[in-house]
Amino acid sequence: MPGLVQLISTPIGNLGDISFRAVECLKQADVIACEDTRHSSRLLNHLAIDRKELVALHDHNEGRKAASLVERAAQGERIVFLSDAGTPTISDPGYRLVNACIEASVKVEVIPGASAVITALAGSGMPTDAFYFGGFLPVKSGRRETVLEAALVRVETSIFFESPHRILKTLAVLAEVSPERPLCVARELTKKFETYHRGTASEILEEFADKAVKGEITLLIQGAGKEKKKKARKE
């Protein structure tokens, strides 16, 4: 069989979300590349998959390691890449690996699965016909405010990842600029303490004001809507 590289989506919290196809691919792999070998080892142990070669592939070494993994695939090996959680390349490493495969004419397969973006959008109650995903919000306050203001004028729903340490500052910006804009803060998706917080920017800010916010957060900002789009067309 010719070699290939497979990108496997992993659970974002609940280990039961791994797919049957993903498990079979992991069992057949010659090499498993992963962001954190210790983290992926726990998943593999849960699935009773052992005796696999694990290789660390993360933001700091992907440019260097991708070439060697693609070379092994070109020689007939099956290479699997796992994100710590969710789908590889989506605000995670894997982009350089995929492009190295394309340049070397090595087949790439994507094994679909969990994604915090789609999970949060589906549970938010916001329009889903079109949306914008902006990855992690910028750390610097000036840049973050610029990105948030752009989201407020965008027609489509905007989705971002945010740190629990900065979510209050982010909510404060949104409440100041557009206090009535509908938001959704999705926390700890698929985990035991999963919560969806839905309401206006001012309501959500008030809800979180006295809380010690923890966990992984996906922030959704409802778009300006179809009326704004119609107005733009007329102009």
Domain hosting 97: range is 4-111
Using pLDDT thresholds of 50, 70 and 90, give the confidence band for residue 228.
low
Among the candidates 88, 111, 134, a domain finishes at: 111
Strand ordering across the sheet containing 4-8: 53-56, 31-34, 78-82, 4-8, 107-111
Residue 2, pLDDT score: 75
124 and 20 co-located in one domain: no
Among the candidates 91, 111, 131, a domain finishes at: 111
Q: Is the distance from CB of 6 to CB of 25 less than 8 angstroms?
A: yes
Residue 226, pLDDT score: 59
- Reduced to 3 states (helix: H, G, I; strand: E, B; else coil), residue 186 is strand
* pLDDT per residue as tens digits for the range 147-180: 999 999 999 999 999 999 999 999 999 999 999 9
* pLDDT per residue as tens digits for the range 51-73: 889 999 999 999 999 999 999 99
Residue pointed to by tokens 């700890």: 188
Q: What values do phi and psi take at 8, rounded to 5?
A: -115, 125
What does the pLDDT average to over 78-92?
Answer: 94
Statement: the pTM of the whole predicted model exceeds 0.85: yes
37 and 99 co-located in one domain: yes
Using pLDDT thresholds of 50, 70 and 90, give the confidence band for residue 227.
low
Q: Could you tell me which residues are beta bridge partners of residue 154?
A: none
Among the candidates 111, 142, 159, a domain finishes at: 111
Using pLDDT thresholds of 50, 70 and 90, give the confidence band for residue 50.
confident
30 and 91 co-located in one domain: yes
What contacts 145, CB < 8 A, 6 or more positions away?
173
